[in-house]
Structure 1
């Protein structure tokens, strides 16, 4: 991937022909190698000191990116082949250039491109572009962090890297689905494996940014009901810290939605649970008095244990609400209770946007 450069310097390189003097920089740094893990510095731009990135500083790179206080030296050709935005950016002749070495004898004029992205976000982009064997299967063998998925959606869209954007969005939707069956099939409502409590706040922001509103209900559920050592409302109110050290918070409107909707959803779920265990046996029941008694005892038990009603996943199956491994009723009544449970929970799921006070077109159609 080294740039092809003649050993004999061109006149343009020697004399700066065609390059405004004010846009030339000299290199004042110790030569480094990508992947060494050593942080080195480059003095440029009026004496401002920049750090060489530990992961992306290739000695024969053909472009230098500057993101905040960090410089990345990589290859224009690879990036231009994956992104039309980068291709257009590199075609601009107005960039500052720096005369840099590629070995002990050769130098090239390397454009310096300043980006508004954080160094952390830019690293995620460069890993996808330079280290991924196949862009079509980015997440098949890994469990990406929130920051990786967030960068994939935001920078994938910004730089028109379609595969990165679409796969990041598909991954996000798989853990914040629009159907109850997919939601209840997840191991927890905390989000993808390894994600931290509070990342749902960022998911709400991403859903609004991309106008993928079908993500919103499950993202709100994650914020309201995810397991945490501290009360969920406290975690929501304090936001969470992103990879670059900044903090993200729910907007005042979304925070209000969480507080109000948590109550309205719990009321709807509690109502559905009591309907599920209504002591009315199945029409096919042959032990109606026994089954009616058992169902009534379940309701009494729930009434005496309101904490259980409030602590369960709001869309848990019916057997999460009673003690023991089985419900001691006949087969016909068991089938009836299962059907009731599914219908009642599905009805609440279909009403989620209404309970949240948000608009999600086509929510209950799938």
Structure 2
């Protein structure tokens, strides 16, 4: 049995799209203007159905079946029918499902502007620039589930936007075992990583943890800075910081190399070095963070053409919230 869509059954619509068990009555000319694929599809022969058109007599509408899910098609129609293609995401954060549907259907129906604007959202939240990425409040955009990072990987593969992959894979790795089971789309279908990309997550996890250990060891290496006037005290303090991690192996093996410096140390531990050495430690940490970021494609075992090694120098000031890190 077929059901009229509650949102897109327009009284003066000129075509009926059938997706699953849902019918959408919309404007054929408007959709054809956006999509050459739909224009070609509408030009083919289809069955017609007489449907009411306001106070006028019934009009014949072609009935066109598409293979998309009703939920995905609804996202596409919201964009096209509203006529806001050039300002899709102004002053709002779209859901993962909206971005996913718009990119997948935008690719399928060759709606370049839709794909471009949707990819812009992903580039903003999964950037290739370390400083932009580091200032993000979390691994994922607002109100997105961690496991949806695997959907970003799939969208990057679909569109060839490989610059999205490092940040997306990092988010997948920290999503843990949930990526194995995949994510559930709005229509109830399950989306998973390809076997090769699932292997990337498994294989890279140990390399990322190894990188974290290297970052910690090099950050707190017991060598004071050249300007240090209390070298013996600072050397001892740095060595004690490393030794304090002996009882906190989890920090060494399960942390990420980008977390704030203070989180490397056990709770309540005070570094106890001079101001000059404290600045040196902070500079080491920034250098190490950038170094790992520059090697992310190598650590992940993927190719990202044009991935730029970050400049290994201390920024003018740390990001907000990490002045002491």
Pair in the same fold by TM > 0.5: yes
Aligned to 2:53: 102
Distance 2:48 2:309 in 1: 56
Q: SS where residue 364 of structure 1 aligns?
A: coil
Contact 2:211 2:257 in 1 (8 A): no
Alpha-carbon distance, 1:84 to partner:
2.8
Q: Provide the rounded CA distance (Å) in 2 between the counterparts of 1:325 and 1:137.
A: 50
Provide the rounded CA distance (Å) in 1 between the counterparts of 2:210 and 2:201: 14
Segments of 5+ residues of structure 1 without an aligned counterpart are 1-48, 227-231
Q: How far apart in 2 are the matches of 1:220 and 1:91?
A: 42
Tell me how far apart the structure 1 counterparts of residues 15 and 277 of structure 2 sit (CA, whole Å).
71
Q: Take 1:261 and 1:280, find their aligned partners in 2: how far apart are those partners?
A: 31
Residue in structure 2 matching 1:81, options 23, 30, 33: 33
Deviation at 1:160, TM superposition (A): 2.4
Corresponding position of 1:7: none
> Which of the numbers 156, 168, 189 marks the counterpart of 2:118?
168
Q: 1:356 to 1:260 in 2, by over 3 A?
A: same
> Structure 1 residues 118 and 361 mapped into 2: Cα distance closer, same or farther (>3 Å)?
same
Give 1:21's aligned residue. Answer: none
Which of 73, 95, 100 matches 1:145? Answer: 95
Q: Is 1:317–1:342's contact at 8 Å kept on the other side of the alignment?
A: no
Partner of 1:209: 158
Is the Cα contact below 8 Å between 2:212 and 2:255 reproduced in 1?
Answer: no
> How many Å separate the matches in 1 of 2:234 and 2:107?
57
1:179 to 129, 141, 149: 129
* SS state at 2:63 partner: strand
1:325 & 1:186 partners in 2: Cα distance? 27
Are the aligned partners of 1:63 and 1:73 in contact in 2 as well (CA < 8 Å)?
yes
2: distance between equivalents of 1:272 and 1:365? 17
Does 1:219 pair with 2:163?
A: no
Which secondary structure does the structure 2 equivalent of 1:81 belong to? helix
Deviation at 1:317, TM superposition (A): 3.0
Unaligned stretches of 5+ in structure 2?
311-325
2:292 corresponds to: 348
> Counterpart of 1:257 in 2: which secondary structure?
helix
Secondary structure, aligned partner of 1:363? coil
Is contact 1:178–1:363 with CA below 8 Å preserved after alignment? yes
CA–CA separation in structure 2 for the residues paired with 1:243 and 1:79: 23
Match of 2:243 in 1: 300
Q: 1:140 to 1:313 in 2, by over 3 A?
A: farther
For 1:169 and 1:83, the matched residues in 2 are separated by 18
Q: TM-score, normalised by structure 1?
A: 0.80
Partner of residue 274 from structure 1, selected from 202, 207, 217 = 217
Hey, what's the Cα distance between the residues in 1 that align with 2:255 and 2:210?
13
In the alignment, the residues of structure 2 paired with residue 365 and residue 348 of structure 1 have an alpha-carbon distance, to the nearest angstrom, of 9
Structure number with the bigger relative contact order (C-alpha 8 A, sep ≥ 6) is 2
Offset, 1:202: 1.3
Please tell me whether residue 291 in structure 1 is matched to residue 234 in structure 2.
yes
- Cα offsets for 1:231-252 (capped at 9, x unmatched): x12x122112111111112222
Does structure 1 conserve the Cα–Cα contact (< 8 Å) formed by 2:209 and 2:256? no
Aligned-pair CA distance for 1:339: 1.6
CA contact (8 A) 1:153 1:165 kept: yes
Alignment CA distance shift 1:153-1:342 (3 Å): same
> How far, CA to CA, are the matches of 1:258 and 1:79 in structure 2?
39
Alpha-carbon distance in structure 2 between the residues aligned to 1:198 and 1:82: 32
TM-score, structure 2 normalization:
0.89
